[in-house]
């Protein structure tokens, strides 16, 4: 009876060791994709994410610059149009 119980525990331990080995393999695979591989010069997810952060940051700055330029050109255009209307308003009485 006790030998049967010991055999069951040994089988469970073997099964558990197999599952642990499988998990270790899965973790190694995940780490392989996360980190750079110098042998193939392949970038890992971590480096790719860092590069994407830089690109997104640059795009956001560029967008802010474009908005600022558009605002400045809008103000300049408004001043020019307002000046033209003022000149017409001043010159109109002299033309008649």
Q: Is 63 within a domain?
A: yes
Structurally, how many domains does the chain consist of? 1
Q: pLDDT class for 3, splitting at 50, 70, 90?
A: confident
> Cα angle at 68 between 62 and 71, to 5 degrees?
145
Q: What are the residues whose beta carbons fall under 8 Å from the beta carbon of 46, sequence distance 6 or more? A: 34, 35
Encode pLDDT of 38-93 as tens digits. 888 888 889 999 999 999 999 999 999 999 999 999 999 999 999 999 999 998 88
Give the residue with greater pLDDT, 1 vs 93: 93
Q: Are 33 and 44 in contact (CB under 8 A)?
A: yes
Report the predicted TM-score, pTM, of the whole model to 2 decimal places: 0.59
Give the residue with greater pLDDT, 55 vs 33: 55
DSSP-derived secondary structure for 21-74: HHHHHHHHHHHHHHS-BTTTTBPPHHHHHHHHHHHHHHHHHHHHHHHHHHHHHH
Q: Is 5 within a domain?
A: no
Q: Is 30 within a domain?
A: no
Its domain, for residue 90, covers 53-96
Q: Is 57 within a domain?
A: yes
Q: Is 85 within a domain?
A: yes
Encode pLDDT of 6-25 as tens digits. 889 989 999 999 999 999 99
């Amino acid at each position: 009876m006790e030998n049967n119980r010991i055999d069951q525990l040994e089988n469970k331990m073997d099964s558990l060791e197999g599952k642990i080995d499988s998990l270790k393999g899965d973790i190694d695979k995940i780490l392989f994709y996360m980190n750079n591989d110098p042998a193939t010069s392949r970038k890992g997810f971590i480096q790719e994410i860092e590069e994407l952060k830089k690109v997104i940051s640059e795009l956001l700055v560029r967008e802010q610059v474009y908005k600022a330029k558009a605002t400045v050109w809008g103000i300049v255009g408004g001043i020019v149009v307002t000046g033209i209307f003022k000149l017409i308003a001043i010159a109109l009485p002299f033309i008649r």
